[in-house]
Amino acid sequence: MDQASYLDALAIDRGSEQSLHGQLYDRIHVAIREGRLPPGARLPSTRSLSIQLGVARGTIDAVYARLAGEGCLIAQRHSGTIVAPGFRAAADTSVAPPRANAAEPWLPLQLGLPALDLFPRKPWTRILARQARQLPIDEMIAPAAMGLPALREAIAAYLAVSRGVTCGVDQIVVTHGFQDALNLTVDLVLAMGDTVWIEDPGYGFVQQTLSARGMAIAPVPVDEEGLCVDQGRAEAPAAKLAIVTPAHQFPLGITLSPARRHALLTWAAEAGGWILEDDYDCEFHYSGHKPAALKAMDVDRRVFYAGSFSKSLLPSLRLGYLVVPPQLAEAARTAQQLRHRGVAMFEQLAVAEFMRQGHFARHLRRMMVRYKARRNALVAALERQFGDRIVLTHRAGGLHVLGRFPGLGDDADLARRALKHGLKPSPLSGQYLKPGPDQGLLMSFTNVPEEKADEVAATLSRAIG
């Protein structure tokens, strides 16, 4: 869309009852939704638009900020405001997307879900039901803002044993999951306008959240060793925070190399920067040793460590945790009081008891075996079905595989066709902030039992082949 037609579309009606803000907002929003302003398109600067439309610059600033807050626009550090690459209408941005079919709350290959059929219902139900019957008085009043002490102790013990992360219980904040942990981290260490390194490709909600909170995004590419730290230093040396998935990079599955870990920690120490480690599916690794947590090497106390029970137990719990550096523990307590006063008691009690009785560790051990079997079955079925038409990347860990289908066309189109056949792979290109040539389908194996793998592969072949 050229500059002239863009201005045409934005033309303000001064006789309208709608405010200038409202008019501008609506028009830009419609232009984005209808594709007249496509993802990546650059908007005029507020200064030039102010002159051209004869509208106060503050009004335009406010409209841009609101659209950035809603994830439609991104304010870049040096190169102005653009339409968010990969932006879809609000209802489409969820990781657990709306049902393709009202009868199905999820679909095979869909990312972001644990194996729903393998959840340990029996001990979980027993614990919940007993808890419901007891309800002593101190479980009726508001829980501590940092979280239930029993749960924080269980998490501390788990992290020490399983992730080599040793920390005081007072450093652990129980959160409503990663999204909440991310916002808490922002509250603790960032000021409006600060620059943040994020992985590209990466988890889309991170970019949307940071943009909404007024931060500048510095997308840093990921190669075979993980985050390209040198490139981050070169392009955004003044960044205040780096957000990384060191165990299994999302979505590529790469484990951050020792050299890059060292480089990242060195950057943080030298630049006074912070690191948020999103260890979202570290529990699931299928060959030899699990990758270490970056937090385990954090001698300079610059690393926040976020974990979640969404993959290891249930997404509907909305439960996770954040380990904060010890010098920020007191500030985290205050922040939690002012943010939402912490997490409801019931989930915390249940998970604490589930961990205390050993069910959590048992469940994780069992799932490692079961996920490995499901992964291998899906990989074998896809290879049988597609032969030379697929290039599969399956790393040693994580909950999905990546399939590239050379010559079969645009991955977003492939995903749409798969959805029509009742499958829900995610297009790799949609995970990139800077549009790139990398295409493929991300396919979760968590909810594809071994005996269903051939059927799923055949359906996918019919859909896209």
Draw the binding track, 327-366, toward its own copies (x: CB under 8 A; -: no contact): x--xx-xxx-xxxxxxxxxxx-------------------
* Distance set, CA 122 to CA 97, 118, 216, 350 (Å): 29, 11, 47, 13
Q: Is residue 41 part of the contact set for its own copies (CB under 8 A)?
A: no
With contact defined as beta carbons under 8 Å apart, do 276 and 249 qualify? no
Min CB(164)–its own copies separation in Å: 27
d(Cα 263, Cα 254) in Å, to the nearest integer?
Answer: 17
Q: Is residue 299 part of the contact set for its own copies (CB under 8 A)?
A: no
Q: Which of 95, 269, 296, 458 binds its own copies (CB under 8 A)?
A: 95
Q: Is residue 128 part of the contact set for its own copies (CB under 8 A)?
A: yes
Three-state SS for 426?
A: strand
Q: Is residue 296 part of the contact set for its own copies (CB under 8 A)?
A: no
Q: At 220, phi and psi to the nearest 5?
A: -115, 130
Burial (Cβ within 10 Å: 0-12, 13-18, ≥19) of residue 15: exposed
Of 85, 63, 293, 74, nearest in space to 196 by CA: 74
Nearest residue (CB) to its own copies, 179 versus 255: 179
Min CB(78)–its own copies separation in Å: 21
d(Cα 230, Cα 234) in Å, to the nearest integer?
Answer: 6
Nearest residue (CB) to its own copies, 13 versus 138: 138
Q: Is residue 113 part of the contact set for its own copies (CB under 8 A)?
A: yes
- # binding residues, its own copies (CB under 8 A): 74
Min CB(223)–its own copies separation in Å: 29
Contacts (Cβ under 8 Å, ≥6 apart) of 365: none
Nearest residue (CB) to its own copies, 57 versus 66: 66
Q: Is residue 94 part of the contact set for its own copies (CB under 8 A)?
A: yes
Half-sphere exposure of 280 (CA within 13 A, CB side): 26
Min CB(173)–its own copies separation in Å: 13
Q: Is residue 187 part of the contact set for its own copies (CB under 8 A)?
A: yes
Q: Is residue 55 part of the contact set for its own copies (CB under 8 A)?
A: no
With contact defined as beta carbons under 8 Å apart, do 402 and 393 qualify? yes
Residue ranges in 150-179 that form contacts with its own copies under rule CB under 8 A: 175-177, 179
Residue ranges in 223-282 that form contacts with its own copies under rule CB under 8 A: 272
Q: At 16, phi and psi to the nearest 5?
A: -70, 150
What is the 8-class DSSP label of residue 3? H
Of 74, 78, 49, 46, nearest in space to 62 by CA: 46
Q: Return the structure tokens found at 297.
A: 């090497």
Q: Which of 40, 53, 70, 422 binds its own copies (CB under 8 A)?
A: 70
Of 340, 338, 344, nearest in space to 318 by CA: 344
Q: Which of 36, 66, 389, 404 binds its own copies (CB under 8 A)?
A: 66
Min CB(349)–its own copies separation in Å: 9
Residue ranges in 189-208 that form contacts with its own copies under rule CB under 8 A: 191-192, 205, 208
Nearest residue (CB) to its own copies, 153 versus 438: 153
Q: Return the structure tokens found at 71.
A: 């994830």
Residue ranges in 301-330 that form contacts with its own copies under rule CB under 8 A: 310, 314-319, 327, 330
Q: Is residue 121 part of the contact set for its own copies (CB under 8 A)?
A: yes
Three-state SS for 441?
A: strand
Q: Is the dihedral of CA 30, 35, 39, 42 positive or negative?
A: negative
Helix (H) or strand (E) holding 350: helix 345-356
Q: Which of 105, 258, 358, 435 binds its own copies (CB under 8 A)?
A: 105
Q: Which of 180, 199, 277, 353 binds its own copies (CB under 8 A)?
A: 180
Start-to-end CA distance of the chain, whole Å, equals: 34
Nearest residue (CB) to its own copies, 11 versus 344: 344
Min CB(168)–its own copies separation in Å: 16
Nearest residue (CB) to its own copies, 79 versus 327: 327
Residue ranges in 392-451 that form contacts with its own copies under rule CB under 8 A: none
Min CB(362)–its own copies separation in Å: 19
Nearest residue (CB) to its own copies, 62 versus 296: 62
What is the 8-class DSSP label of residue 51? H
Q: At 412, phi and psi to the nearest 5?
A: -65, -35
Q: Which of 69, 80, 149, 422 binds its own copies (CB under 8 A)?
A: 69
Q: Which of 7, 9, 12, 62 binds its own copies (CB under 8 A)?
A: 62
Q: Is residue 119 part of the contact set for its own copies (CB under 8 A)?
A: yes
The amino acid at residue 31 is: A
Nearest residue (CB) to its own copies, 290 versus 363: 363
With contact defined as beta carbons under 8 Å apart, do 408 and 389 qualify? yes
